[in-house]
Structure 1
């Protein structure tokens, strides 16, 4: 997932930055062009107004003309003398004009008297809004100033911003989708190579090397495959050397304690202190370092040994492998934590044993009856058909077992990455279950009242229902199976009840283990793979729920599965 995100960002971020910069530059250029157009228009208006016979004192006729122009176009016309006195202003009445403050220090006025024209964008202290001012010298003692509210430019900017943002986000979404597609295409072989590398690093002996369309990656995989095979061959050769160098290398990473002939501590490393959880002091007997009984018990069996030994001991709930090397006057004790390795070995041994046991029966029947048919080509048709049927049933059982193992593995790999984008329709689910069990020896009643949509993956909820109902079909002696689906807020409860026999209390927790079957079921003809309830429990764990079984008032068992709905992120936000 991290490599996918990296590839996505490498492609998406530069394109996004380039698009943002382009948008910013384009927006700036358009606004500058609009502002230049406004300046040109204002200069033209000022030249037209200079065609009037302007006075050095207020003229009512000119004022009326200027006011009419302002009403029609929002253009403000101001006549200003060189001493700063405002002769006329089209935004105000004659009385207000006479009271206007002196404009001699206005920047556009000063610039116009100095160079002939002047312009500025500023907030008007009289009109109290941002205006674009353009002043043109009428004669040596009089200028014509026209101004226009900046609302035009600001509305243009707002309109452009809205339009550009819409286009920008649409383009970003399109680019993101395209980038996701490209990132997946690029990242898929990288992920597969990463998986191969992880398996090689983990020391797995059987690794599948897939084929790729890309010739370069195919060559790379070929090189890795040859290196992998070479490593396996070298590993066997180095195994003997590893035994010789084991003590030297172990002291670099593992707990080390060096004792003298009197069992006084001569040397130790930090790992020893961390593992033993006890502070050690040099030149002091190892058995006098502390009064902790775990510590004393751990070393009381090691200290008396005077020959090279390798043993395993438990210390504070952890399992340690200990190497003892005796020299002339010293004893080297090297120990390291193998708890996880021991647990893994036990789990692997148990899992392999269970899988082998489950595969052995159908395989034996397939091979046995196949050999019988092969050795007797003239066999009676009745027996021939019977044996073929047994072979088919055994093959089907083998297929179910393999599918269950693969499904369980898939669920274990999924961990917390479950996501439900589309809900399961309760009505469709009920119809499918009813039709699936319509001609079975036991009657199945299904209730999902008040439920429309369930945000549980359809494949997962079907797996729970079919595993639980099939389990009841095989092991229940009653004629009825009751299936109810209830909802409390975002918690879904699936209850499957049968009519017995009751599962013993000491087996109620164990039935959810892999390959576990009750003693009463082992001699039945129609047994399951022993993985169904384990699959149910793993699915419940994925949805932050639980799986348990209780006795019911019908003399049987009720399996209760709790699942918390996984809503789409868009709904949560």
Structure 2
């Protein structure tokens, strides 16, 4: 059934009740008034008939003409039609018409009772007079033989009908006025009742839409006690719901922030194996937009068979699961520690599951690097220690007596001790650089790149002369960059020492510096060290800047390096928001390039001044 507004349920009902009541009142008033007037006329006409009845009876015994003249004159004076009918229904005299031309009246409804000895009444339209008449007939004894007849009197009821018509008009006017007043009062009452309910409805709609910022406050003034109580209850309910919604929104935002910022990949799946939510980490893992996958079947998003088996098992058995799963992002494997946890509703029924994937790839890689570092640093430290220990024991066993061997052995001990000291120094240097990088404790001042190359050349000049290697400087003019001069010099010196160590005698090593700009207009300074050494294979390039990593371990130790120089260069470049790169072709040499952000033009002008 179609619902109807409360206003249209109250307003038409009130108006309808008023209209029906007024119609009933009008009908009752008119019918009662008409009956009262008719009864009064009946009584009056009967009294008239009784008054002239004896005279009519006496005159009917005499001559016909005086009798008829009496009837005619009496009827005219009394404004009443008088008719005398004998027992056979024949009209003997009439005050208005010629009695000889009149029909038999024996069957007239008012005459028939009178002929039987009773008083008869009738109300009908008279064709003779052309108006409504009230007839009353009483029995009388006529003639010399006093046979029974009837004396009928008739009086017009047109004045009564005119009066009733006027009464009808007045009652109709009163009725219309009352109905109009009832319409206004009903309209006012209906609106007074329905408007608070409509306000309550709007408030409830705002709550259902979650529009807590536009909460409708219901004003309970000018209401009935019951309606005011209902409004107060709804206002209190709205306030409580508002507070709870705000708490829920706050908790949802907190959960959303936690969910989005989680480093672990999280996927929420419903009981129909469709994705409910996926955080940014999971979207990045599967290289899919997190908003697009909502409502998608999990088979179309997750293609790994092991993960799908875990999802099926958890949804089927409603039990948690944990295992390691390997995914492949291209050719690179990704190791995931995966947890599958069922989701339950308030009735502890399964409503889906939560898939949490922790990426162990970086952790494993760091663990491998840590293990390699421990192994390498142990090996690098153990080699000189073993040599020192061996030669010292040899000296203690009697080699001290042989002056030539003793000097040679002590020289070896000093070299190994120097090498051990260099390793320790490089480790301390690397540790200090990393610490400053983490704490961002470094002071950068605008400096000229060309001066860095000249200082590095002067530091390594003796080593270059020993190997008869020519070092040339190729630097563009006026290249400035924010830098910590000692650290950048150390990075260039490390690269230059490596180039001198691995380059053959009589070769050329180039220190080059030039500038560039990217498509966004950002300026950079590039410092390169170019050698003509044996070069580096492609398989070594990704790990070349790791600590203690060597392409040729035996040859590297023969060159006297610690295996930490390139790692120090990488951290110094990162400390300056720069990068270090290497290009190498086996047999044709290598090029190591440090790229630093260039100083702004105004700082370059200040540095030049």
> Shorter-chain TM-score: which interval?
0.3 to 0.5
TM-score, normalization: structure 1? 0.43
Report the structure number with the largest CA radius of gyration: 2
